[in-house]
Amino acid sequence: MSSVTQARTRYHHGDLANALAAAALDLARAGGPDAVVLREAARRVGVSATAAYRHFAGHEELIETVKQECQLELVGRMETALAAGTPDPDPQREAIRRLRALGVGYLRFAVEEPGLFRTAFCHSDASKEPSWNRMLSSPGFVALTTVLDDLARTGALDERHRAGAELVAWSSVHGFSMLVLDGPLGALSPEDRAPIVDRLLDAIVAGILGREP
Amino acid sequence: MSSVTQARTRYHHGDLANALAAAALDLARAGGPDAVVLREAARRVGVSATAAYRHFAGHEELIETVKQECQLELVGRMETALAAGTPDPDPQREAIRRLRALGVGYLRFAVEEPGLFRTAFCHSDASKEPSWNRMLSSPGFVALTTVLDDLARTGALDERHRAGAELVAWSSVHGFSMLVLDGPLGALSPEDRAPIVDRLLDAIVAGILGREP
DNA sequence: TGTACATCAGTGAACGCGCGTTCACTGATGTAC
DNA sequence: TGTACATCAGTGAACGCGCGTTCACTGATGTAC
């Protein structure tokens, strides 16, 4: 038994906030944002529902925590995908490779963790503008800007296309992910999807560059 | 009093199925898919909740009906936007104009009717593949293919970019819509958003064409 | 080093809510003769 | 044309469920002296 496991058997849990957040994240993983239920999270941790109120103002704060966690998991996947491939000595081809890798990581996360992905972008009443800051300032997202800058610097991306290129790239990949998860593309089998994903990424890259890659 | 209004005062409503669907659509408009509540729809029509079961198998069938209705509203907006502008005598510029119009109609609907838009693409457990057929075979969506064909025919769209161009266009516009509704772009005021939408559409068009429009 | 006590982090029962759904029913409708 | 009757489309009460949240409480912790 680890000290953490022992801790749970004691009256004072010791790390209830994190334990509840982790349980809630599991709920999101399995069933999306609607499955993030305070009482169930407490149940899984083996604690009364009331105990959660010592660590979260209420359900909204819990799900907002989970949502942020989901966003960080997404950028984690992007960063992993970025680091996975073998660098190309040619700086231009390397930048294109990295742009694709970011897209692949994003799409993979959406498909492999639909519950977390939906939670990361679930609708919340509270206008929590700052909640996106951690995600947008993460290495994964900053890498997108870096890569586009590299493309502009090497001349692959025309200056006229540089402005707003982040938004085009993000929108394309995000929209495709949503259409696969909850749209008409959901009927596609993984085998059918793979080549389409490939072609889509080609098209997005071509679109951003404004010419053949 | 119209005959319809009179009908509601009678024991037999006469058109309960449509009345419930309309009330449910209003709920979706105001609060998105989660607001589509069978009991509330019945309440609004002035009928017992039980009565709904004479016309719908249950809640799931009701919301699926609303979802399809939302999809049709979306394509309706696309068609309206398509018909709104003044045609360009040059076939190539005309095709580009129409492509942009479709995107504008899509984005406008998302922003102006967020509840309906979310409902149109809400997650539903039932794998209802055929439910998308009405939307995809609607004039609005068929127009997308037509426009892209026109662009290819007039030479604006390179043959190598033609395959999957629908998906690129749709994903971009859909993704942007989602990021505005439930993502970090939601903080944008309508005034700030307008120029970004313009640039995004430029970028999408440029991306699809693979060169300057 | 030992102890009183404030504080902290849990408990368990309960509340109110609104939902989807079922049940036995009843009033209205329209059709066969 | 009138009437018996099957069918249809409603009613209202009730059920069970699970949720978020509040309440008064109690056991554990750690700090001041």
Q: Tell me what the pLDDT averaged over chain B comes to.
A: 91
Q: What is the pLDDT of residues B62-119, one digit of tens each?
A: 999 999 999 999 999 999 999 999 999 999 999 999 999 999 999 999 999 999 999 9
User: Mean of the pLDDT values across residues A15-37?
Assistant: 98
User: Which nt has its C1' nearest the CA of B48?
Assistant: D11
User: Rounded to whole angstroms, how far apart are CA atoms B67 and B64?
Assistant: 5
SS3 assignment for A78-125: HHHHHHHCCCCCCHHHHHHHHHHHHHHHHHHHHHHCHHHHHHHCCCCC
Q: Tell me what the pLDDT averaged over chain A comes to.
A: 91
Confidence of residue A6 (pLDDT cuts 50, 70, 90): very low
Residue B6 pLDDT exceeds 50: no
User: Rounded to whole angstroms, how far apart are CA atoms B176 and B172?
Assistant: 6
Tell the residue number behind the tokens 């010592």, with chain if given.
Answer: A54
Confidence of residue A8 (pLDDT cuts 50, 70, 90): very low
Q: What is the pLDDT of residues A132-168, one digit of tens each?
A: 999 999 999 999 999 999 999 999 998 888 988 999 9
Say which residue, A137 or A198, is predicted with more confidence: A137
For an interface test with A, give the residue of B131, B168, B185, B196 to mutate (most A CBs within 10 A): B168
Residue B2 pLDDT exceeds 80: no
CB contact under 8 A, A210 and B208: no
Q: What is the pLDDT of residues A66-109, one digit of tens each?
A: 999 999 999 999 999 999 999 999 999 999 999 999 999 999 99
User: Mean of the pLDDT values across residues B24-31?
Assistant: 98
Search chain B and give the residue with CA nearest A163.
B199
Confidence of residue B1 (pLDDT cuts 50, 70, 90): very low
What percent of chain B is predicted at pLDDT more than 90?
Answer: 77
CA of B7 to C1' of D1 (A): 28
**Chain B contact set for A206 (CB, 8 A):** 161, 207, 210
Residue B130 pLDDT exceeds 90: no
Residue A207 confidence (pLDDT): 81
Six-digit token pair at B27?
């709920």
What percent of chain A is predicted at pLDDT more than 90?
Answer: 77
Confidence of residue B213 (pLDDT cuts 50, 70, 90): very low
Residue A10 pLDDT exceeds 70: no
SS3 assignment for B79-145: HHHHHHCCCCCCHHHHHHHHHHHHHHHHHHHHHHCHHHHHHHCCCCCCCCHHHHHHHHCCHHHHHHH
User: Mean of the pLDDT values across residues A36-54?
Assistant: 98
